[in-house]
Amino acid sequence: MKKIMLALACTFIFGCQGNSQKKNEVANTAKEAKEQYAVQKTDAEWKAELTAMEYYILRKAGTENPGSSDLLYNKEAGTYVCAACATPLFKSEHKFESGTGWPSFDREIEGNVAYSVDTAYGMTRTEEHCATCGGHLGHVFDDGPAETTGKRHCINGAALDFIPEK
Query: Using CB atoms within 10 A of its CB, is residue 80 exposed (0-12), middle (13-18) or buried (19+)?
Result: buried
Look up residue 76 and give its amino acid: E
The answer to whether 154 is a known catalytic residue is yes
Cα separation, 9 vs 6, in Å, equals 5
Query: Using CB atoms within 10 A of its CB, is residue 25 exposed (0-12), middle (13-18) or buried (19+)?
Result: exposed
Task: Give the three-class secondary structure for 12.
Answer: helix
Cα 103 to chain centroid distance, Å, stands at: 15
Which residues are CB-neighbours of 60 under 8 A, at least 6 positions away?
A: 136
Task: Give the three-class secondary structure for 110.
Answer: coil
Options 82, 85, 130, 154, the catalytic residue: 154
Q: Which residues are catalytic?
A: 154
